[in-house]
Structure 1
């Protein structure tokens, strides 16, 4: 049984974390498989949006501690970070297609921070987020110390990481950690709706927007304005821009192709 189940429907790639018996916690095989699936999505022009979701009751409980406590299986933290989590987070941020984290249950440790690295986070009402690292004497990784303070502010991020508090879905929405919380009965329907909407939008422009958001983390205002100008000129030369303008003039729904 594959630790990542993937399918493509209507230009949306669905990547299911598939180790439900251990709350979709990562081992080496699953981490490398997720990277390979993300690479395949990036290379496939038919994929215009990506959803990462967990099978079973959890989104992802982070690292499988049985692996790191096994003398035979333990790859060591250097390898885990450099070959597992850091490459996953880097792919999520550099793939110029919208990536949705559909958080259907608990997201803990690296699982929480991988979700927060995504472009859009949709949470079930039963979802929760836990920076579990301090509970076992570790520090937050997988980009958590980068993304969380930028999402919710330094003070809140510091407290959540040091205390290891469980953050409910509604609290996560209030703090700005997630885009929206959806009742469990309509969760997958809402994820489908958002993913389908994104897959029909001008993919090149969305990718450029993502690139700009990434650079805004470190750019000066002058640098950012300069980059916006260059990318706006590039976007204005796209087929999707021409289609969008024509559709506006003709008072019809645009048919974007992601070109």
Structure 2
């Protein structure tokens, strides 16, 4: 998320959302550019098929090379991506994750201990 989100919705919005952990609706994710489309649950399959058919009927080489060019943005971030991934994995375990999940499950404010930084 720390690599992709700034490219998708801008650094300021990415920092705000990732650091505050505020909930994000599908509509808001679409509005800020984090996702391409927000579709009602019952329309997902039909909309996906419409888009797939449209792409399948499009000019294959133009689509292929455009996709390749756009994906280059991600490949250009490879060094930062490796570091970001390492930092994210550090945050996926440990006491803070357990407390965050427990507080969410128990519908209470988390009690993080700032004296236990690592």
Question: Does the alignment pair 1:170 with 2:51?
Answer: no
TM norm structure 2: 0.56
Q: 2:18 aligns with which of 161, 170, 177?
A: 161
Large movers: runs of 4+ above 6 Å: none
Please report how far the alpha carbon of residue 157 of structure 1 lies from its aligned counterpart in structure 2 after TM superposition.
0.4
Q: How many residues align?
A: 76
Secondary structure of the 1:182 match is coil
Question: Does the alignment pair 1:182 with 2:14?
Answer: no
Please report how far the alpha carbon of residue 218 of structure 1 lies from its aligned counterpart in structure 2 after TM superposition.
8.2
CA RMSD after TM alignment: 2.0
Following the alignment from structure 1 to structure 2, what is the Cα–Cα distance between the partners of residues 150 and 216? 9
For residues 85-164 of structure 1, what are the structure 2 equivalents within 5 Å?
144-164=1-21
For residues 16-27 of structure 1, what are the structure 2 equivalents within 5 Å?
none
Q: 2:62 aligns with which of 205, 221, 237?
A: 205
In structure 2, do the counterparts of structure 1 residues 218 and 190 end up closer, same or farther at CA, with 3 Å as the change threshold? closer
Please report how far the alpha carbon of residue 185 of structure 1 lies from its aligned counterpart in structure 2 after TM superposition.
2.4
In structure 2, do the counterparts of structure 1 residues 154 and 197 end up closer, same or farther at CA, with 3 Å as the change threshold? same
Secondary structure of the 1:180 match is coil
- The higher-RCO structure (CA 8 Å, 6+ apart) is 2
Q: Which 5+ residue runs of structure 1 have no aligned equivalent?
A: 1-143, 220-259
In structure 2, do the counterparts of structure 1 residues 214 and 185 end up closer, same or farther at CA, with 3 Å as the change threshold? closer
Please report how far the alpha carbon of residue 152 of structure 1 lies from its aligned counterpart in structure 2 after TM superposition.
0.6
Match of 1:192 in 2: 49
Structure having the higher strand fraction is 1
Structure having the higher helix fraction is 2
